[in-house]
Amino acid sequence: MIINYFWHKFVKKIRGCAIRDSRIHKTSKMESGSHVVNSAMDRHSFCGYDCVILNTDIGSFCSIANNVSIGASRHPMEWVSMSPVFYEGRDSVKAKFSKHSRDRVKRTSIGNDVWIGERAMIKQGIKIGYGAVIGMGSVVTKDIDDYNIIAGCPTKVIRKKFDGKVIEELISLRWWDWDDDHIRIWAHLIDKPEEFILSVKKQ
């Protein structure tokens, strides 16, 4: 039974990722089965299994669960037909009756220290603020403010992660921009936000 478990885990891992025209920081990780195009991921972030990430800029210390979709293309709903047989570019179907240009793809932006739950779907062009939390299965169609916790379909704000003063101080400190050695000095206080802020400001 244990051998069977590790065998299937091994098979899951060896699929690899499809990554094109993208920059993934050497300290970050994309799990297998994920499809990443024209995107960037900064320091110490990770993406789970079987995600689709298109035209997206992802900050540092972000955590993206499995089966998340970010920045997917939209179909031209304002046209007579939305079928790809009428617009330019390669697609699943081979026929091309015309090659109309679609609207320019909008980039999606995910701030630093963001957590995105499993099977969340994020529309292209969305901006997600620092420290935001997106619940599993959420469908995100609007920008998300810093440190908002959101969930649902469509999403709604559940609450702020911290009170206003703590949020203001964390954004001011911009700890995610510190070098790794400096972060290690204060990492023992990462579970105590108020103490972390006071101690750093006193140095």
Pairing of strands 29-30, 133-134: unpaired
Q: What proportions of the chain, in percent to the nearest 5, are helix, strand and coil?
A: 25, 25, 50
Query: Is 75 an active-site residue?
Result: yes
Q: What is the pLDDT of residues 131-178, one digit of tens each?
A: 999 999 999 999 999 999 999 998 999 999 999 999 999 999 999 999
Q: What is the pLDDT of residues 64-97, one digit of tens each?
A: 999 999 998 888 889 999 998 998 888 788 899 9
Residues of the chain within CATH 2.160.10.10 domain(s) are: 15-161
Indicate the class that CATH gives domain 15-161.
mainly beta
State the Cα–Cα distance between residues 137 and 134, nearest whole angstrom: 9
Q: What region does 180 belong to: left with phi over 0, alpha with psi -120 to 50, or beta?
A: alpha
Contacts of 156 (CB under 8 A, 6+ apart): 150
Which one from 75, 100, 182, 188 is the annotated catalytic residue? 75
